[in-house]
Amino acid sequence: KAGVTQTPRYLIKTRGQQVTLSCSPISGHRSVSWYQQTPGQGLQFLFEYFSETQRNKGNFPGRFSGRQFSNSRSEMNVSTLELGDSALYLCASTPQGKDEKLFFGSGTQLSVL
Amino acid sequence: GNSVTQMEGPVTLSEEAFLTINCTYTATGYPSLFWYVQYPGEGLQLLLKATKADDKGSNKGFEATYRKETTSFHLEKGSVQVSDSAVYFCALSDGGYQKVTFGTGTKLQVIP
């Protein structure tokens, strides 16, 4: 069974641009969640989707948004990029999304210049 | 809100040394507790979990016991190997929809 796949692996953008990250969960997993990982803050929860609905959201500004498609694939968008958005963005999937083991992808490393 | 506090790293140990990484948490109710490990260039992977008080999670020689009275979930291993070098994250889930709260991570370096 293929694992969680995130694309692209690396991204370099400039301030003010927008970016879209993609996540394909493990086959059969309907819950996808996103985390931002930085050296100073560790992992911070962005949001969680299940069956195309956002069920939970972390404390991030509205510039961070996401969506999930009918095949459970998810995208995350960040608009008007700031230097502080430089981070590793991790996607995780689970079958139902409740108290279960998270299966993580390798992440997308975003650098904002 | 929920929070997880881990000991600061990095932790440097010689091969075959005993490992303890401290983790304490703050949460309402009865959360599930986890340890995840991240190897260089990879995402996190679950190392072990415990879902109720006094449960002991174990995997690959690592152990952690859910201590409700001290709100702790310390990670231990009797004899570390070079291949255990990684970043270790303590985490909790309060039963909400996958809003897992992570500690800041503890980097472990094991030297031969």
Question: Minimal Cα distance from A101: which residue of B?
Answer: B46
Residue A18 has pLDDT above 80, yes or no: yes
Average pLDDT, chain A: 93
Closest Cβ–Cβ partner in A35, A48, A102 for B97: A48
Q: Is the pLDDT score of B88 beyond 90?
A: yes
Q: Is the backbone peptide bond immediately before B40 cis, with ω within 30 degrees of 0?
A: no
CB contact under 8 A, B98 and A48: yes
Eight-class DSSP state of A26: P
Residue B101: burial class (beta carbons within 10 Å; 0-12, 13-18, 19+): buried
For residue B75, name the pLDDT band (cuts at 50, 70, 90): very high
B 24-43 residues inside an 8 A Cβ radius of A = 32, 34, 36, 41-43
Report the pLDDT averaged over residues B85-106: 87
Compute the average pLDDT of residues A24-34. Answer: 94
Encoded tokens for A102:
């998270």
Instruction: Summarize pLDDT for A77-111 with one digit per residue, the tens.
Output: 999 999 999 999 999 998 876 667 889 999 999 99
- Which of A102, A106, A108 to mutate to test binding with chain B, by most B CBs within 10 Å of its CB? A102
Whole-angstrom CA distances from A17 to A22, A61, A81, A90 are: 17, 16, 5, 20
The structure tokens listed for A25 are 């969960």
Is residue A49 less than 8 Å (CB to CB) from chain B? no
Angstrom CA distances, B24 to A56, B7, B65, stand at 24, 9, 12
User: Is residue A39 pLDDT above 90, yes or no?
Assistant: no
Which residues from chain A sit within 8 angstroms of residue B3, using beta carbons?
A: none
Of residues B74, B72, B54, the one with CA closest to residue B64:
B74
Q: Does B16 score more than 90 pLDDT?
A: yes
Q: Please compute the mean of the pLDDT values over residues B39-68 and round it to a whole number.
A: 94
Taking 90 as the threshold, does the pLDDT of residue B77 lie above it?
yes
Pairing of strands A10-13, A108-112: parallel
- Partner residue facing A45 (CB), from B42, B95, B99: B99
